Amino acid sequence: MTIYDDILELIGNRIVHDTLYYSGKGEISRYDFWINKSNLLPYRLKIEMPHYTTVDTYKNLTLNKNKLEDFIASSYFPTDCPLKTKEKVVKKDDLLGKVAPDWVLTDSKNNTFALKELKSKILMIQFTSVNCGPCKTSIPFLNKLSTEFDKQSFDFVAIEAFTKNSNVLMHYQEKNGISYKLLMSTKDVTENYQIKSIPVFFLLDKNRVIRKIIRGYGIESTDKEIREAIKKML
C-alpha cells in the first residue's frame, strides 16, 4: 500500500505529512505487508516514511470468529486497564444570539480581511480544515451558494481552523476550485468561536449577531438548512 500526496496521513491527531501533503512530490510513504500463506494472516509490516523506517513482526495472530452482534471490544482490553464511562453532555451554543467575536485574518496570499469590513446584510462564516472530509464535500455547494445572492444581501467567508501553512492552504484552494474567501484562523479566533469540531457554519445578521449555528455537513440536508436560514433572515 502506497500513500501519495493526495492522501493525508494521520497518526492519532498528529499530521505526519504536513508540508508534503500538497507538495506534488508523488509517493511519500509505503506500507509493505507479509502474509502467511497457511492462514492468510499478516506476520510482518514494514513502514517507510521520509523521516524513518520501521519493521514490526507479529506472532500467534488468530481470527476472531465471534458474530458482530456478540463482539464486545472491552472484553479484549488488558485486565489492568481501568475503564471509565463518560456521560454525554449536551452543551448549549453559548454564542447564539450574541455579537460574533471580531477578527482580522489573512488569506494564503497574505491579504488581510476584517470582519467589520464585510458589509453584507447577512454573513455566513464557515470554520473548515484541509484535513476534513465533510468540509471538502461541502465545497461545490458553497461555490454555488456564493453566487446565488448579491453581495449586499449575502456574503460568505471560510476560515481554516487549524492549518497555519499558507502554501498548504493555497494549494488546497486551487486544487478544489474554491472561489470564495478562505482565510487562516489564529488560536484566539478559533477559541473565541469555541471550535471543537468542524465544519461549523455561523449565520450573522446585519448587526453581526449570530442568529444560527449549524454543525457538521450533509449533502442536500445541510444545503437546504442553510438556504432556508438565509431566506428567512433576508
> What is d(CA 103, CA 190) in angstroms, rounded to the nearest whole number?
10
Q: pLDDT 10s digit of each residue in the chain, 234 long?
A: 555 544 454 444 444 444 433 444 455 577 888 988 888 888 899 887 656 688 999 888 887 788 877 878 778 787 787 777 666 555 566 899 999 999 999 999 999 999 999 999 999 999 999 988 899 999 999 999 999 999 999 999 999 999 888 998 999 999 999 999 999 999 999 999 999 889 999 999 999 999 999 999 999 999 999 999 999 999
List Cβ neighbours of 21 (8 Å cut-off, separation of 6 or more).
5, 8, 15, 130, 168
**pLDDT score at 20:** 39
pTM above 0.95, yes or no: no
Residue ranges of domains in the chain, CATH in brackets: 2-76 (no CATH), 104-233 (3.40.30.10)
> What is d(CA 202, CA 107) in angstroms, rounded to the nearest whole number?
19
